Amino acid sequence: MTDDRTKPEIDAPAGPAPADLVVRDIVVGSGAEAKPGDTVTVHYVGVEYETGEEFDSSWNRGESIQFPLRGLIQGWQDGIPGMKEGGRRELVIPPHLAYGPAGGHFLGGKTLIFVIDLIKVG
């Protein structure tokens, strides 16, 4: 898969934020499958659950980014394994799997939504 898929739009959902990680495949990929601890190349956009306000996007920077999964927030470490190259997945991540309680990180205490395109594993 090339990394030319367009940036997704994410609207603030109705209803209360979930207490646990929610994983939803938007597009199921057909390439290599990500495993815990892998390094992955992704495009992603992140928004706050309550407001729908975007706080980060690799698309806005114009290039995909490579991460080792073990260096990321727990919601990504738990939500990306099993995803295949070419896939697009939505993760709804509660605070305890993101940046923790309010007061530390500027996203502390917030439930986050990420839409992630998995471009490459390894």
The model carries a pTM of: 0.93
Please, what are the domains in the chain? Answer: 22-121 (3.10.50.40)
C-alpha span between 118 and 87 (Å, rounded): 6
C-alpha span between 58 and 37 (Å, rounded): 21
CA angle 53, 57, 60 (to 5 degrees): 110
Burial (CB count within 10 angstroms: exposed 0-12, middle 13-18, buried 19+), residue 74: middle
Residue 88 has pLDDT above 70, yes or no: yes
What is the mean predicted confidence (pLDDT) over 85-89? 98
For CA atoms 35, 38, 43, 49, give the dihedral sign: positive
20-76 pLDDT, tens per residue? 999 999 999 999 999 999 999 999 999 999 999 999 999 999 999 999 999 999 999
Which pLDDT does position 38 carry in this prediction?
97
Which pLDDT does position 5 carry in this prediction?
75
Which pLDDT does position 4 carry in this prediction?
55
> Residues 115, 59: contact at Cβ < 8 Å?
no
